[in-house]
C-alpha cells in the first residue's frame, strides 16, 4: 500500500486504518458519529492526499478538456474551478472530477478520484492528439480538506490570502502555513463549508502544514476526521461517490448531473447523451428515507409493493445528523417521484422506504 504525507501521524494518533484505492488511509479516529458532528458543528481535517492530480499545459489544453469533459470549461477564468465528468463512449462515466483554471486557456489542474488515476490518465491521453503537455503530479501532491462552519475562520490565521471571502468553486494560490505555492480552494465534499489545501510534498511541507493547522485549530476543537465520516457527510448532502452512485454504466443524466452536461459544445459521446436528454431516461438516481427499521447498503435490491425488482441501492447509511437511515438508489422513472413508496430488500425482508428530495440535510 502507498502512504500519504500524513500516514505516520495517523498511526501515532491511533486512527483505525484500512486500504482504500491502494493507500493506507484513516477510516476513523474517535468514531464516525463524533467525527461527523465535529465537521457539521465546528471543523475537522481530512487527509485526502490519495486523490489524483494532473496538470495540462499548452495552447490546446482547453480544447482537450472540452473534448473529454461534459461541463463547459471555457467558462472558467483564473482562480475558478468547476465540477465535471469524463463521459465514456457507451453512455456511462469514466470518472467525475474537478477542473481548476490556473492560467486561462493555458494551464489547468484536474483532480480525479484515487481509484481512477491510471484509468483517467490513459483515457485523457488517448484524446491528446494536439500535443498538450500532461503531467501526473499525484504522487507528489498532498491534499488536506479542512471542513466545517468554522474551518475558514481558523485557517485564515495561517495565510495572507483572503480565503474568508473565497466563493464556492473558486481558489487562491500563495503562501499557507509558511509553505509557498499552495492552492487553497472552496469546493467542499461535506456541505458544511471549508477549504481544500493542495501543496507540493517536499522538504517536510506536509508535516509543517498539519502542525500549523492544529496549532491554530485544536484549541477551538478542530479534530482529525476519517474517511467513514466523510462518506456519511457527503451522503447527507446527496453528493455522488464514484464506484457507488456513478460508474461506467450510469449516465450523467440518470444521475441527476444534467447541470454539468452542457450541449453547447461537442464532447465524448455528446450526441448519444443529447438524444437521451431528448427522449428521457428510463431510470433515475433518487434519495430515500427508511420508514421501516433497517439500514440500506450498496447493491441491495429495490422492489415495488408487488415485490417486483425496480432498482438498486447505490449508497446508504444511518445519517448522524438526521437520526434516520437514508440512501440513494437507481429506480425505474415511474417510481422516482417524491413521496413514492419503495421497498428495500434486506436479507429476506422488504422494508418500506419513501422517496425524498436530495439533499437530505
Return the C-alpha torsion angle 90, 94, 97, 99, nearest 10. Answer: -70
Confidence of residue 348 (pLDDT cuts 50, 70, 90): confident
User: Does some domain include residue 293?
Assistant: yes
Summarize pLDDT for 205-255 with one digit per residue, the tens: 999 999 999 999 999 999 999 999 999 999 999 999 999 999 999 999 999
User: Does some domain include residue 342?
Assistant: yes
Please say whether the beta carbons of 329 and 312 come within 8 A: yes
The pTM for the full model equals 0.97
User: Does some domain include residue 201?
Assistant: no
Backbone conformation region of residue 299, classed left if phi is above 0, alpha if psi is from -120 to 50, else beta: left
User: Does some domain include residue 248?
Assistant: no
User: Does some domain include residue 297?
Assistant: yes
Would you say residue 20 has pLDDT above 90? yes
User: Does some domain include residue 335?
Assistant: yes
Question: What total number of domains does the chain contain?
Answer: 1
User: Does some domain include residue 352?
Assistant: yes
Give residue 351's domain range. 282-356
Please state whether beta strands 44-47 and 223-225 pair in parallel, antiparallel, or not at all (unpaired).
parallel
Question: Which CATH number is 342's domain given?
Answer: 2.40.30.110
User: Does some domain include residue 218?
Assistant: no
Amino acid at each position: 500500500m502507498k502512504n500519504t504525507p500524513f500516514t505516520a501521524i495517523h498511526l501515532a494518533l491511533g486512527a483505525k486504518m484500512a486500504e482504500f484505492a491502494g493507500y493506507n488511509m484513516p477510516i476513523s479516529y474517535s468514531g464516525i458519529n463524533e467525527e461527523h458532528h465535529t465537521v457539521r458543528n465546528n471543523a475537522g481535517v481530512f487527509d485526502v492526499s490519495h486523490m489524483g492530480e494532473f496538470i495540462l499545459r499548452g495552447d490546446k489544453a482547453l480544447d482537450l478538456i472540452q473534448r473529454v469533459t461534459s461541463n463547459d470549461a471555457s467558462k472558467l477564468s483564473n482562480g475558478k474551478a468547476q465540477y465535471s465528468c469524463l463521459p465514456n463512449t457507451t453512455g456511462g462515466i469514466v470518472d467525475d472530477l474537478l477542473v481548476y483554471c490556473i492560467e486561462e486557456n493555458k494551464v489547468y489542474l484536474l483532480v480525479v478520484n484515487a481509484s481512477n488515476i491510471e484509468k483517467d490518465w490513459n483515457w485523457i491521453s488517448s484524446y491528446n492528439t494536439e500535443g498538450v503537455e500532461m503531467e501526473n503530479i499525484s504522487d507528489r501532491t498532498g491534499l488536506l480538506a479542512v471542513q466545517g462552519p468554522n474551518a475558514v475562520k481558523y485557517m485564515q490565521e495561517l495565510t495572507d490570502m483572503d480565503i474568508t471571502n473565497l466563493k464556492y468553486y473558486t481558489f487562491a494560490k500563495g503562501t499557507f502555513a509558511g509553505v509557498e505555492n499552495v492552492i487553497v480552494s472552496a469546493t467542499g465534499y461535506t456541505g458544511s463549508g471549508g477549504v481544500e489545501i493542495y501543496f507540493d510534498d517536499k522538504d517536510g511541507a506536509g508535516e509543517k502544514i498539519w502542525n500549523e493547522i492544529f496549532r491554530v485549530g485544536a484549541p477551538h476543537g478542530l479534530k482529525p476526521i476519517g474517511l467513514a465520516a466523510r462518506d456519511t457527510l457527503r451522503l447527507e448532502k446527496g453528493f455522488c461517490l464514484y464506484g457507488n452512485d456513478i460508474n461506467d454504466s450510469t449516465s450523467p443524466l440518470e444521475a441527476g448531473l444534467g447541470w454539468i452536461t452542457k450541449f453547447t459544445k461537442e464532447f465524448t459521446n455528446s450526441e448519444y447523451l443529447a438524444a437521451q436528454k431528448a427522449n428521457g431516461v428510463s431510470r433515475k438516481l433518487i434519495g430515500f428515507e427508511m420508514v421501516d427499521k433497517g439500514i440500506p447498503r450498496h447493491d441491495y435490491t429495490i422492489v415495488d409493493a408487488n415485490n417486483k425488482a425496480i432498482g438498486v441501492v447505490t449508497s446508504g447509511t444511518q445519517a448522524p445528523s438526521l437520526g434516520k437511515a437514508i440512501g440513494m438508489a437507481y429506480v425505474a422513472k415511474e417510481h422516482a417521484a417524491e413521496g413514492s413508496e419503495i421497498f428495500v430488500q434486506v436479507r429476506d425482508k422488504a422494508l418500506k422506504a419513501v422517496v425524498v428530495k436530495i439533499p437530505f440535510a
